[in-house]
Amino acid sequence: MGNTFEIAIFIIGFLIVATAANRIAKYFPKVKLPIITGLLFIGILSGPYILNLIPKPAIPKLYFINEISLSFIAFAAGAELYLKELKGRMKSIKWMTFGQLFFTFVLSGIVVMILSNNINLLAGLSFDIKLAITLLIGTIFVARSPVSAIAVINEMRAKGPFTQTAIGVTVVKDVLVIILFTICFAVADALISNIPFDIWLLIILVGELCLSILLGFLLGSLMNVILALRVSTWIKSFLLVLFGYSVYLLAHLVHQKSQIYFGFDLYIEPLLICIIGSFVVVNFGKSRREFLKIIELIVPSIYVLFFTLTGASISLDILKDTWAIALLFFTIRLISMAIGAFIGGSLGGDPLRFNRISWMPYVTQAGVAIGLVAVVSAKYPEWGAEFSTILIAVIVLNQIVGPPLFKWSILLVGESHRKRDLLHENKIQSAIIFGLEGQSLSLARQLMDHDWTVTVITRNEERSNLEYHGVDVSYVKELSLEELKRLKADKVDAIVMMNQDEDNLKVCEIAYEHFGTRDLVVRVNERNYINKFHELGALIVEPSTVMVSLMDHLVRSPVATSLLLGMEKNQDTVDIEMQNHELHGISLRDIQIPTDVIILATKRNQNTLISTGYTRLRLGDVLTVVGSIESIEKVRLKMDNLGSPNLRNRRFVGKTISFKRKPLQTDPDLPT
């Protein structure tokens, strides 16, 4: 009873510290440091060596939090291994992964063994134990961080072959490093326990690996069953967390009972089981999007718990004496990675300008690497604390140095789209509104809020000289081709007409005949003009029916209408043109997009199709996308051309309902 009460106190105290760490760590990006580094720092500060908010006896009793966290970190890593999106770039990924995995592991291991007598952690140990620890160090050196890589890519709006290979290798390598760790951990255990190498040991090692993979597929099937249940997302999230932790409990049970019943230790790798389970869900299950949504919900909290507790576990007294070794290990890893990446890129046929800097995207480490360190530290407490402290110091260095190097490499190969966006922004996002009144000024301000350049045109010279709170108002003497060209109406993306029907028709005819303006939007006052504007390809708004139509939609479908009208905070509706050649012919259901994004319709060859999961993308398709602003930007980046971004797809969705468009057609790609 007393032990249970003590654990409860430790848990409550740790949760308070973790909550504070989560708030404080969000300030670290302001000084160009990752949030993960902030969590580790707060953990160290709260640990037994400084503030003692997390006392030393609490750390082993809270280790179950590590195991829960590790299972979900493995779920997140496995979810990135989506085969349909990696298919088009497998050659480069294959050889780069080989170079990174083989040469980083082998070269760093050889160097560590050569220097072992000068490293306190290894000096004085027998050859077998040195070899065992070196194998584990080499494995951890290979690990990378998909989360950090994705964060850098999103920030830089990076797109291109170099970036695609980097994220593909990062994801594939994290899966393979778990398999490598499973093998090396078993070999290291045999070396440390003085178990002789014979055919039976090999059979046991292969059996352990096959059993872990089999259990991974079984876990994936059970997770698919959970995700298919008709219960709330939070209940499913809780069940998945429970299943992940159950894998660790099963591994402990198998390890204990195997010695009793079989006379030898049988070790199954929980990380490998969880990562394969996640792989099964995203590639062979029907609930991939919901699973990704659960990961997005849970993983941020998991990271807070895991990295805060990891920081508290770092032994500062050991770090004080081993910082030089950590710096040496950091250097060894960088050099071996550079050699491996150059060889792998050359074998994959990548250009020399890529191969010279191909090691830069793979420096950063985080969750998986620290998870492996935690497993080793818990297994071998005699030297585990020193091992953990040194390797976590190396990981922190990689976490600080890695993201800037990845950003630099993206800039060097010219795959960052941020600067180009700024160059094109003013020229592309522009509109002219004919008619000076309250509605036209309100529309101008809304367009300006969406980063458009807007000019309101009036034929009243006196009113054009007044101030309109930031809205640019220009005077035009007559509605002629010469005057419209003077106003640069031939270069804008949209012309909005809110004058009398006769004037609107004159502007519309000039734009149709001479400008080829992308979007012509007209407010019609008399219905007998509708056909005339419709023949000119204009989008028509009828004031006589729009209010009734709007109220009708708000009554019958308030959520959808609020989204489309931009009434929801941080939500938007935009059209995005599909220009990515690698996505041509792929179904919408087979593309990894944020879970809060909905693709409402697909415009193809002037026809609007109802989008379904079976709709196959074609180059030039214009997708109408609804979702959060951040998620829409991720979709835009995925659909962009690999060479240069095209911002002409960004368009403001009108705040009215009764547009006169061609009727929606059934998607021809939908199976019958």
Mean pLDDT throughout 534-541?
A: 84
Cβ neighbourhood burial of 660 (10 Å; 0-12, 13-18, 19+) = middle
> pLDDT confidence of 357, banded at 50, 70, 90?
confident
Taking only the tens place, the pLDDT of each residue in 384-421 is: 888 888 888 888 788 778 778 888 888 888 777 654 44
Q: What is the reported pLDDT for 575?
A: 80
Going by their DSSP bridges, the two strands 622-628 and 571-577 should be labelled as: antiparallel
- Specify whether the CB–CB gap between 62 and 14 falls below 8 A: yes
% of the chain beyond a pLDDT of 70: 83
Going by their DSSP bridges, the two strands 430-434 and 494-497 should be labelled as: parallel
Q: What is the reported pLDDT for 25?
A: 86
Taking only the tens place, the pLDDT of each residue in 99-125 is: 878 888 888 889 988 888 888 888 888
Residue recorded with tokens 């402290």 = 389
DSSP, residue by residue, 443-460: HHHHHHHTT-EEEEEES-
Q: What is the reported pLDDT for 562?
A: 64
Residue recorded with tokens 């976490």 = 399
> pLDDT confidence of 652, banded at 50, 70, 90?
very low
Q: What is the reported pLDDT for 148?
A: 65
The domains of the chain are located at 67-415, 423-541, 570-649
CATH number of 67-415: 1.20.1530.20
Range from 252-261, 417-426, 589-598 carrying the lowest mean pLDDT: 417-426
Q: What is the reported pLDDT for 655?
A: 35
- Specify whether the CB–CB gap between 511 and 540 falls below 8 A: no
Same fold flag, 67-415 and 570-649: no
Residue 119 per-residue DSSP state: S
On average, the pLDDT of the chain sits at 79
Give the integer Cα–Cα distance in Å for 368 and 308: 15
Q: What is the reported pLDDT for 557?
A: 64
- Specify whether the CB–CB gap between 518 and 494 falls below 8 A: yes
> pLDDT confidence of 218, banded at 50, 70, 90?
very high
Q: Give whole-number Cα distances, 486 to 178, 428, 468, in Å.
A: 65, 18, 22
Taking only the tens place, the pLDDT of each residue in 363-390 is: 877 667 777 887 788 788 888 888 888 8
- Specify whether the CB–CB gap between 322 and 130 falls below 8 A: no
Mean pLDDT throughout 574-603?
A: 77
Reply yes or no on whether the pLDDT at 22 is more than 60.
yes
Q: Containing H/E element for 347?
A: helix 316-347
Give the integer Cα–Cα distance in Å for 579 and 131: 51
Q: Which CATH superfamily is domain 423-541 in?
A: NAD(P)-binding Rossmann-like Domain (3.40.50.720)
Taking only the tens place, the pLDDT of each residue in 472-531 is: 898 888 888 888 888 888 888 889 998 888 888 999 988 888 887 878 899 888 888 888
> pLDDT confidence of 157, banded at 50, 70, 90?
low
Its pTM stands at 0.61
Cβ neighbourhood burial of 516 (10 Å; 0-12, 13-18, 19+) = exposed
Q: Which of 276-290, 426-440, 587-601 has the highest mean pLDDT?
A: 276-290
Give the integer Cα–Cα distance in Å for 346 and 360: 16
> pLDDT confidence of 78, banded at 50, 70, 90?
confident
- Residue 493 neighbours by CB distance under 10 Å: 20
Give the integer Cα–Cα distance in Å for 533 and 530: 5
- Specify whether the CB–CB gap between 599 and 587 falls below 8 A: no
Q: Say how many residues make up the chain.
A: 672
Range from 218-222, 369-373, 604-608, 668-672 carrying the lowest mean pLDDT: 668-672
Torsion of CA 8, 10, 12, 13, to 10 degrees: 160
Q: Which two tokens stand for residue 602?
A: 């697909």
Going by their DSSP bridges, the two strands 571-577 and 598-604 should be labelled as: unpaired
C-alpha angle 524/651/567, rounded to 5°? 80
Q: What is the reported pLDDT for 382?
A: 82
Q: What is the reported pLDDT for 670?
A: 39
Class of domain 570-649: alpha beta
Reply yes or no on whether the pLDDT at 463 is more than 60.
yes
Cβ neighbourhood burial of 36 (10 Å; 0-12, 13-18, 19+) = buried
Range from 71-80, 102-111, 391-400, 611-620 carrying the lowest mean pLDDT: 611-620
Going by their DSSP bridges, the two strands 598-604 and 607-610 should be labelled as: antiparallel
Give the integer Cα–Cα distance in Å for 169 and 361: 10
Q: What is the reported pLDDT for 222?
A: 92
DSSP, residue by residue, 10-49: HHHHHHHHHHHHHHHHTTGGGGT--HHHHHHHHHHHHSTT
CA atoms within 13 A on the CB side of 201: 14
Mean pLDDT throughout 160-182?
A: 77
